[in-house]
Amino acid sequence: MASRRPGTLPGETPERRLTSISGGRAGDDRPDGPPPAVRELRARPDAGDRPDDRAEEQARLWHVVLSVAGRTTPLPELRSGLEQLAHDHSFFLTARYAEDHAEIRYWEQARDLHDAAAVALRLWGEHKASANLPPWEIVGLEVVDRATYHQRVAEGFGTPPPQPGGVHPY
């Protein structure tokens, strides 16, 4: 397995947490109350122009479209799994599905495109068991920043599905 960049897993640094996990690792109880689910990242005041003095980037919203496909699955079973995924994933927007493929649209909060795409590529596999999703593979991924998404919608491209929100058949 490839090594990960420092700070990309919950618990690697005390300051950073994944946005979809409230409270961090189990057993991370603090007497001063629960930790915030999302921490706003700001530039360090002492960050200079030197390459070694990189300022932390502020977390941004990314619009993600994840396409999955595989063997035919009974529609009621697939719908149930996608509804459970919608319940489990906090920024879930909408899903469309057919017997052999599905498309999931949601917002992800991440530092950069690399982090947003990495989370998106893990989403289906990490929720297969908990949401009873079929063993499909990811066949497409689009990740765009918030400004690009809104620009596309304003120009008439990339409009939201006809039934926004929830889980719907094609």
pLDDT in tens, the chain (170 residues): 444 444 444 444 444 433 433 333 344 443 444 444 433 444 444 444 444 434 445 789 999 999 999 999 999 999 999 999 988 877 778 899 999 999 999 999 999 999 999 999 999 999 988 899 999 999 999 999 999 999 998 888 876 655 667 888 88
User: Whose structure tokens read 């699955």?
Assistant: 73
The rounded distance, in Å, linking the Cα atoms of 100 and 3 is: 33
Provide the 3-class DSSP secondary structure of residue 47.
Answer: coil
Provide the 3-class DSSP secondary structure of residue 97.
Answer: strand
The rounded distance, in Å, linking the Cα atoms of 164 and 82 is: 15
Enter the pTM of the model: 0.64
